[in-house]
Amino acid sequence: MRAFTIDAYKGDLHETEVAEPTVGDLDVLVEVAAAGLNQLDNKIQSGEFKAILPYALPLTLGHDLAGTVLRVGAGVTEFAPGDEVYGRPRDHRIGTFAERIAVDAADLAPKPASISTIEAAALPLVTLTAWQALVEIGKVQPGQRVLIHAGAGGVGSVAIQLAKVLGATVATTASAANADFVRSLGADIVIDYRAQDFEQELSEYDFVLDSLGGKNLEKSLRVLRPGGIAVGISGPPTPAFARAQGLGAPVRLILGAMSRGVRAQAKKLGVTYEFLFMRASGEQLREITALVEAGKLRPIVERTAPFADTPQALAELAAGGFRGKSVITLR
């Protein structure tokens, strides 16, 4: 079957023929109708994450899908052939840039009926990231103040909406051109990152979701109230993350050194920093589906591209500069 793979880190993403998926007892074979593009695909291709997420090469990329069930394993009872599903396959089982993929049933959920297949394919990774940051780690409560960086992007655009569902007052950073757009998603305060310094504008926040890292993360720690939480999705990874991933001692030491400065700064300020590398969860996607069906969360898809244009579409994503998500279509 057709798929888009890399043969080496920093190598080109190219179309090739790969073997049909092997369907285990707890797996679901899905015909991919659409696949969302994510920065994680670019980071894996570039080798940026090879220390914390090593893959055997060649590797078919792709972390989001929406499609139709073709076959289920002997132990699967919640899905049947013909069902429309969406999901984010777990790490080491990615590969949605392909005509078909076998996915653990626990990583899938029924596709929301109120949105298109293309819109469904845009949701899994970014909405799970937002959910795990805001609900699981941040435990955001009504009345709290939340800062979402890069509010017009894939994660930011759904995190703003989810934070409003949770009852928070939401500030976000965005360009002036995207100010009205992020307000339409629910942002109460918009900081023009080109003209304003968010550290000078905001203080005493309960939670920050940082997707940029570096100096931006350091400044984010300083806008938190004592006891506040900053979650970083670009890094640096922490020793706690390394232990949870089962990474070896050498890698844990390296990650500890990388994050030592940020962790020390957080401790000095009386706040918490956690690194989030989202995980697959069909159960959480069902919660997200309920929000979509209730009209409380909407996918943002700015670009679509045919399957044949996957490499170009992924390169355009890396260049940035557009709202929400980009999705490739297979039918």
C-beta of residue 212 within 8 angstroms of C-beta of residue 235: no
What is the predicted pLDDT for the residue at 52? 84
Band of residue 270 on the pLDDT scale cut at 50, 70, 90: very high
In this model, does residue 190 exceed pLDDT 90?
Answer: yes
CATH class of residue range 2-123+300-329 = alpha beta
What is the predicted pLDDT for the residue at 44? 96
What is the predicted pLDDT for the residue at 243? 85
C-beta of residue 146 within 8 angstroms of C-beta of residue 163: yes
Q: Nearest-5° angle of CA 6, CA 9, CA 11? A: 55
In this model, does residue 10 exceed pLDDT 90?
Answer: yes
Mean pLDDT of 278-283: 97
Residue 100 φ then ψ, to 5°: -145, 155
Mean model confidence pLDDT for the chain:
96
Burial (Cβ within 10 Å: 0-12, 13-18, ≥19) of residue 296: middle
pLDDT tens for residues 144-157?
Answer: 999 999 999 999 99
Q: What residue ranges of the chain are covered by domains with CATH 3.40.50.720?
A: 125-275
Task: Tell me the CA end-to-end span of the chain in Å, nearest whole number.
Answer: 15
What is the predicted pLDDT for the residue at 157? 98
239-248, 294-303, 305-314, range with the lowest pLDDT: 239-248
What is the predicted pLDDT for the residue at 235? 83
Q: Kindly state the percentage of the chain with pLDDT values over 90.
A: 88
In this model, does residue 168 exceed pLDDT 90?
Answer: yes
In this model, does residue 172 exceed pLDDT 90?
Answer: yes
As a dihedral over the C-alpha atoms of residue 175, residue 234, residue 310, residue 182, rounded to 10 degrees, the angle is -30
In this model, does residue 320 exceed pLDDT 90?
Answer: no
Q: What residue ranges of the chain are covered by domains with CATH 3.90.180.10?
A: 2-123+300-329
Dihedral-angle region of residue 271 (phi above 0 means left; psi in -120 to 50 means alpha; beta otherwise): beta
pLDDT tens for residues 85-118?
Answer: 999 999 999 999 999 999 999 999 999 999 999 9
pLDDT tens for residues 194-215?
Answer: 999 999 999 999 999 999 999 9
4-13, 72-81, 173-182, 231-240, range with the lowest pLDDT: 231-240
What is the predicted pLDDT for the residue at 223? 98
What is the predicted pLDDT for the residue at 251? 83
What is the predicted pLDDT for the residue at 105? 98
What is the predicted pLDDT for the residue at 245? 82
CATH class of residue range 125-275 = alpha beta
What is the predicted pLDDT for the residue at 255? 84
Residue 178 φ then ψ, to 5°: -100, 5
pTM equals 0.96
Q: What is the rounded CA–CA span in Å between residue 307 and residue 324? A: 19
In this model, does residue 321 exceed pLDDT 90?
Answer: no
In this model, does residue 21 exceed pLDDT 90?
Answer: yes
What is the predicted pLDDT for the residue at 177? 96
pLDDT tens for residues 206-265?
Answer: 999 999 999 999 999 999 999 999 999 988 998 888 888 888 888 888 888 889 999 999
Mean pLDDT of 253-278: 93
